[in-house]
Structure 1
Amino acid sequence: MSIHTQRVRTDQAAHVAVDQACRALRLPTIRAKFTELSEAAERDQMSPIGFLAELLMSECDDRNRRRSERRIKAAGFPRDKSLRKFDFTANPNIDPVMVQSLASCDWIRKSQPLCLIGDSGTGKSHLLIALGTEAAMAGFRVKYVLATKLVNELVEAADEKLLTKTIARYGRVDLLCIDELGYMELDRRGAELLFQVLTEREEKNSVAIASNESFGGWDNTFTDPRLCAAIVDRLTFGGNIIETGTDSYRLASTRARAAQQQGTASS
């Protein structure tokens, strides 16, 4: 038997051993990329320790990616929105430096709140989801929910004597994103239940909200003035506020496209 044939058989046995070991140790990325990386290591004359580092880093990177994907999925975002796709030039009210600073997630580490206030179409929900996504990618547990859905869930939980458990569940996540706060009036009971969630999270975990109403108009949402003041206090104390303005760039973009299509059709 030639030396070459012996080596081929030895390499084949080694690959089988690596495959079996990766299955047993649950290392799917190394198992999938071992042949490709081993050939690259031989071609580049990589040292054994360098080759081992490449294998392990490949597994770690892929594992971190899968964890991020699971956290993003668990957050329950209604659609995919990223900061990379946000058009800062379309809304000069929004400071890109401040948003990029928030993307570092330092405010979440400090358990600070975030309020995004502005009319429909000004980008507040996009920012809420994008910053929530950044938090999930950074390793934080995130939950996204519409304000009305949250209140309805709390009311049902209270009726079924599951309120404590439900509030605790919403209290555990690192970042709770509440969207469309202010679109509907909440009765006293609903407002009180929402207040309990905010109190549970106060100075322990962050809350981020998006609202189409300025704080002065929250009396229309929370009909009890004292409760309204207490909720505003919970959501603003030591926190960050971004006012996205009143001019809908989504509407402006739609009008611009319509005008462009009309111009093309007439020419």
Structure 2
Amino acid sequence: MRTGQPLCLIGDSGAGKSHLLIGLGTAAAEAGFRVRYTPATKLVNELVEAADEKQLAKTIARYGRVNLLCIDELGYMELDKRGAELLFQVLAEREEKNSVAIASNASFSGWTKTFTDPRLCAAIADRVTVGGTIIETGTDSYRLAHTKASMPAT
């Protein structure tokens, strides 16, 4: 985090990405770092609203100042071109200055469904992977395993 390196958690739904992301953010906050957690769609919606209200620079700067920005659930929803461009601006603002940690249910090759512009998709993937750490959390759902374990045997 001190060097601004990104972290990507990639895995299927229920594999513990959000849990790890929140744990990382909590540990960083307890260590005195400024942390912000947000689902990707909420961040994009906030950026669109800020742009409409001519507050975009201020909003991007606010996201740029935290030491660790945790973006959860990237890949669950397709982002329109405007939303993807606004998200890119936040990532570019943070690049090599402050860390970003992203949790996604889609592999990087699947990000083309989230970011429909191929060049923008490549630029975003570049910003969140170069010099960073990628952790694959797997395909096994902890929630499903817990549900099955708590069901009575038949």
* Residue 249 (structure 1) aligned with residue 129 (structure 2): no
What CA distance in whole angstroms lies between the structure 2 residues aligned with 1:249 and 1:173?
31
2:17 is aligned, of 112, 124, 132, to 124
What CA distance in whole angstroms lies between the structure 1 residues aligned with 2:142 and 2:32?
32
Show the counterpart of 1:208.
Answer: 101
* Residue 169 (structure 1) aligned with residue 86 (structure 2): no
Pairwise CA distance, 1:249: 2.0
Question: Taking CA–CA contacts closer than 8 Å with sequence separation of 6 or more, which of the two structures ends up with the larger relative contact order?
Answer: 2
Show the counterpart of 2:76.
Answer: 183
What CA distance in whole angstroms lies between the structure 2 residues aligned with 1:170 and 1:214?
25
Which residue type is aligned with residue 129 of structure 2? T
Show the counterpart of 1:112.
Answer: 5
Structure 1 or 2, whichever has the larger Rg, is 1
2:118 is aligned, of 201, 225, 229, to 225
2:53 is aligned, of 148, 160, 169, to 160
Q: CA RMSD in A?
A: 0.8
| Unaligned stretches of 5+ residues in structure 2 | none
Q: Which runs of 4+ in 1 moved over 3 A?
A: none
What CA distance in whole angstroms lies between the structure 2 residues aligned with 1:181 and 1:165?
23
TM-score normalised by structure 1 residue count = 0.57
Deviations 1:8-29 (A, max 9, x none): xxxxxxxxxxxxxxxxxxxxxx
What CA distance in whole angstroms lies between the structure 2 residues aligned with 1:139 and 1:112?
18
Deviations 1:30-60 (A, max 9, x none): xxxxxxxxxxxxxxxxxxxxxxxxxxxxxxx
* Residue 138 (structure 1) aligned with residue 31 (structure 2): yes
Deviations 1:204-250 (A, max 9, x none): 00000000000010000000000000000000000011101111122
Greater CA drift, 133-142 or 248-257: 248-257
Pairwise CA distance, 1:194: 0.2
Structure with a larger share of its residues in helix: 1
Deviations 1:154-181 (A, max 9, x none): 0000011000000000000000000000
Q: Matched residue pairs, number?
A: 154
- Describe the SS at the equivalent of 1:109: coil
Which residue type is aligned with residue 120 of structure 1? S
Which residue type is aligned with residue 193 of structure 1? L
Which residue type is aligned with residue 188 of structure 1? K
Identity of aligned residues (%): 81
Which residue type is aligned with residue 132 of structure 1? G
What CA distance in whole angstroms lies between the structure 1 residues aligned with 2:10 and 2:51?
30
What CA distance in whole angstroms lies between the structure 2 residues aligned with 1:154 and 1:250?
32
Pairwise CA distance, 1:199: 0.3
What CA distance in whole angstroms lies between the structure 2 residues aligned with 1:237 and 1:151?
22
